[in-house]
Structure 1
């Protein structure tokens, strides 16, 4: 097997380090999941293209984007709310007249919303996914 440069059964490519037996490989589940997600995302959004947003476009995006085109309705409402609240923080940050105490309180509220944890037991009907 060490001199064989063919992929093992069930694999598309030969191992990067053929000297190490596949029995000693430990899969990195996070990166495997991210790779799968990336492939599925590319298949599901074939007509979407990435573009860099300029200043005015960022504001329009923050203000108007509807996440229901990507997520289920309940999750989209949560994420839309998160973005709308972020936009409310984004606007006054440009002005010197912004009340720092008020901004601090709004930023703390937004952070609390952003850090909303999941609730309940995963894979059950009562499970409610958090925002992070």
Structure 2
């Protein structure tokens, strides 16, 4: 931490001084559920951005997306922001995000090969994220391979390093996660910490013992 305080860019992925420089990075516990939800937000944004970049973000593609959402029983809408040419859309909730990323038929929007590649990238199995984060990250940054002679695309890539968010960096570079990265419940890490602190305060203020003697076996004849 002292190195980062003196030089915030000493390690890859760090640009600014630590916000809580009194706490070692080893003691930071990211909430895996929160990270996963924010990363799925980013992946869905990139899907929509790719459609826009291809010049295909029109009534046809928007209707396709809405109909696919209806199949997944998700209420989803697009609307034009007043006074601009920009569009906004319904924010997905936690369970809806998972259904979209797991079951949305991307082949309705992209060619089959491209759809399959994106589908690999947005695989959201918790164990996959926990155990193969770096493999997932390498796929995220998969580069497009171009034939230098013909300038034809030999292998389609995915996204750029500028598309990486702090949440993706935490997932790949910081291994200490709530519950070891398992989705045991949907309670955030900060809530569990506060609940634990509240219990300790109650026990302390009411002189409740935090430990008890080991029970003894009593044999009755």
Residue 80 (structure 1) aligned with residue 107 (structure 2):
no
- Equivalences for 1:1-132 in 2 at 5 Å? 37=53, 40-47=56-63, 48=66, 49=78, 50-84=89-123, 87-88=124-125, 91=126, 103=130, 105-121=131-147, 123-124=151-152, 127-132=154-159
Q: 1:37 to 1:78 in 2, by over 3 A?
A: closer
Distance in 2, matches of 1:80 and 1:39, equals 21
- Structure 1: give runs of 5+ residues left out of the alignment: 1-33, 93-101
> Cα RMSD over matched residues?
3.0
Structure with the bigger RCO (C-alpha within 8 Å, sep 6+) is 2
State the SS of the aligned residue for 1:80.
helix
State the SS of the aligned residue for 1:127.
strand
- Structure 2: give runs of 5+ residues left out of the alignment: 1-49, 67-77, 79-88, 160-221
Q: Larger Rg: 1 or 2?
A: 2
Q: Would the aligned equivalents of 2:61 and 2:109 in 1 still touch at CA under 8 Å?
A: no
- How many residues of Structure 1 are paired with residues of Structure 2 in the alignment? 84
Q: 1:70 to 1:108 in 2, by over 3 A?
A: same
Task: Normalising by structure 1, report the TM-score.
Answer: 0.52
1:96-120 CA distance string (max 9 Å, x none): xxxxxx82x5110100111111112
State the SS of the aligned residue for 2:133.
helix
The structure 1 segments of at least 4 consecutive aligned residues displaced by more than 6 Å after TM superposition are: none
Distance in 2, matches of 1:46 and 1:67, equals 13
Distance in 1, matches of 2:110 and 2:121, equals 14
1:58-90 CA distance string (max 9 Å, x none): 111122112101110111010011111xx02xx
Q: Would the aligned equivalents of 1:66 and 1:80 in 2 still touch at CA under 8 Å?
A: no
The CA deviation at 1:40 is 4.0
